[in-house]
Structure 1
Amino acid sequence: MSRNGTLLLTGGSGMVGRNILEHPRAAGWTILAPASAELDLTDAAMTDAYVADKKPDIVVHCAGQVGGIQANMAQPVAFLERNTAMGRNIIMAAHKAGVRRFLNLASTCMYPRTAPNPLTEDMILTGELEPTNEGYALAKIMATRLCQYIRREDEGAQYKTLIPCNLFGRHDKFDPRHSHLLPAIIHKVYEAQQAGSSEVEIWGDGTARREFMYAGDLADAVLKAAEEIEAIPDLMNVGLGHDHSINDYYRTVADVIGWDGTFTHDLGRPVGMKQKLCDTTRQTDWGWHAPTTLPDAIAKTYDFYLTEAAA
């Protein structure tokens, strides 16, 4: 028997889930990480039966249908309907089975598109969402609110939500058709190095700012929160509390990879929001900060890329 009990992890095959499973803190739990064939979260009856049978001490909900802007825009029905179903089914299954601790992972896409930076947790539902990922955001808001409503009706139920900033790391997606910013940069600069190219193009002027945290650090925060769930607020950002420009990310990746070419800028390309930075006051008050520096995080991700993706 593990010292912390049994943890049911949804989304164990995704980037966040796999980083949780390989983190040293995971050894303190007996972790159940069922594949979708064993637990289809879109099937309410199956989800109810699974949770009632396993009786976990805590559920950590990381599962979801995820993707970049193009996928969100092309499949808004799936991003809204499937993610809503998964969130609702696992939260209610846990609640009906008497599971007293539930850790829900949300997303900064829940924040209004025009909210001022840094983003504080009380800004959610105070303005219009970003249209390109509205369906996904609505599903995450529903799950977050459902956890809050359960807490409102039953204060002893520790149903809480973490809101991570942008993530990258081991087990990421590097295919340019599906990847997000940092894995895409790693792939792009590596390809330039292999081709002997002296230039890499950046979309826009590179001054837009983004907050990217190493996925292994999120895993550390999630497992610490699972151990100390009564000590965290109902809703809490998990991030760095500072950001970097797109140009900074390109330069750091080039330094890590050892590519010494130059960057050009295509000012006709879209760049998205100028900034999306989390306020980490609640996280700091809890006593946690992300331990991995940007160069170290990129180096670890690049090592994974060389071993798993580039090969």
Structure 2
Amino acid sequence: MPRLLLTGGQGMVGQNIRAHHQAKSWEILAPTSTELDLTDEHLVRAYIKANKPDVVVHAAGRVGGIQANMAHPVDFLDVNNVIGRNVIMSAWAEGVRDLINLGSTCMYPAAAPNPLSEDMILTGPLEPTNEGYALAKIMAMRLCNYINREDAGARFKTLIPCNLFGPHDKFDPKHSHLLPAIIHKVHQAKIDKQSTVEIWGDGTAQREFMYAPDLADAVWCAVTDIEALPELTNIGLGQDHTINHYYAEVARVIGWTGDFVHDLTRPVGMKQKLCDTSRAQEWGWRAPTSLRTGIEETYKFYCERYIG
């Protein structure tokens, strides 16, 4: 049975990768942070040397929404930069031929025209609210590119997922991304019989949110078809919605019938982040889950894990 090292195996993306049906055909090593400190280069290299994985999937990192990024820019740059370098360089040094690195749409310039195509990276300034995280992700992507350039036998590829939500997400607004935070806020509004829910900004900013199990599906397709996979590939829906739409859709799923109010003093980040998914489609992959189905399944998980 082939062996796969998965970093970040306890996070939302990692747990969905492990839950995918293709995981049954692999021996998956998913050490926790206490079992393997990814910020320690010597420990990471020793772990890879001892376990000899056939493939590495790098999904670990310090993640969070606008509030977390703005409050802890040092950690978002430094920790993610160190982890990315340690995993990628250690894998290469120990003879791993295949590696899937997960990037982020934060890597795209703030003023880049939408939809965002892969060749736009490094063509302009980044969004200030999450610049540190973006810089670390760009470094990891470039490191993979350079390894491929120097080593003809290496296949170090980067997937760039759009915003995600789904099972095993973080729902605390202090640490979560937009959609799980909306689920938490609207659920609380229903339970507390609140008549209004606040939306940051005017709600017209557009975002592309994909169900996390769909990213897991793309990762497994990449692992099993890494030769044909482009060096850099957006993984998303190719369509987006306004923040107001996400609030309204979550309210319909949860059954809350109050009103939304807008706080125009709050930061909202980039006006739009929509992936160009033509490269992924040419490779042969499309996201299979609708927004409504994804929200329903995520709300079910939220109720079972945090309420029930």
- TM class by shorter chain equals over 0.9
| CA displacement at 1:274 relative to structure 2 | 1.5
Q: Secondary structure at the match of 1:146?
A: helix
What is the match of residue 14 of structure 2? Answer: 17
What is the match of residue 172 of structure 1? Answer: 169
Consecutive unaligned residues in structure 1, runs of 5 or more: none
Size of the aligned set, in residue pairs, is 308
Q: Give CA deviations for 1:17-49 in whole Å, capped at 9, x if unaligned.
A: 011111112112110001122211111111111
What is the match of residue 121 of structure 1? Answer: 118
Identity value in percent: 68
CA contact (8 A) 2:66 2:269 kept: no
CA distance in 2, matches of 1:168, 1:123: 25
Question: TM-score scaled by structure 1?
Answer: 0.96
| CA displacement at 1:246 relative to structure 2 | 1.1
| CA displacement at 1:160 relative to structure 2 | 0.4
Opposite residue 174 of structure 1, the aligned amino acid is F
| CA displacement at 1:73 relative to structure 2 | 2.5
What is the match of residue 136 of structure 1? Answer: 133
Q: Secondary structure at the match of 1:233?
A: coil
Question: Does the alignment pair 1:162 with 2:159?
Answer: yes
| CA displacement at 1:138 relative to structure 2 | 1.1
Query: Compared with structure 1, are the counterparts of its residues 116 and 196 closer, same or farther at alpha carbon in structure 2 (3 Å cutoff)?
Result: same
CA distance in 1, matches of 2:56, 2:275: 25
CA distance in 1, matches of 2:146, 2:179: 36
Q: Which moved more, 1:117-126 or 1:129-138?
A: 129-138
Q: Secondary structure at the match of 1:230?
A: coil
What is the match of residue 310 of structure 1? Answer: 307
Q: Secondary structure at the match of 1:172?
A: coil
CA distance in 1, matches of 2:62, 2:268: 24
Question: TM-score scaled by structure 2?
Answer: 0.97
Superposed, 1:169-248 pairs within 5 Å as: 169-248=166-245
CA contact (8 A) 2:4 2:57 kept: yes
Opposite residue 169 of structure 2, the aligned amino acid is D
Consecutive unaligned residues in structure 2, runs of 5 or more: none
CA RMSD of aligned residues (A): 1.2
Q: Secondary structure at the match of 2:272?
A: coil
Q: 2:292 aligns with which of 291, 295, 300?
A: 295
Q: Secondary structure at the match of 1:161?
A: strand
CA distance in 2, matches of 1:13, 1:20: 10
Query: Compared with structure 1, are the counterparts of its residues 198 and 76 closer, same or farther at alpha carbon in structure 2 (3 Å cutoff)?
Result: closer
| CA displacement at 1:264 relative to structure 2 | 2.8
| CA displacement at 1:271 relative to structure 2 | 2.6
Q: 1:43 aligns with which of 25, 40, 44?
A: 40
Q: 2:146 aligns with which of 134, 141, 149?
A: 149
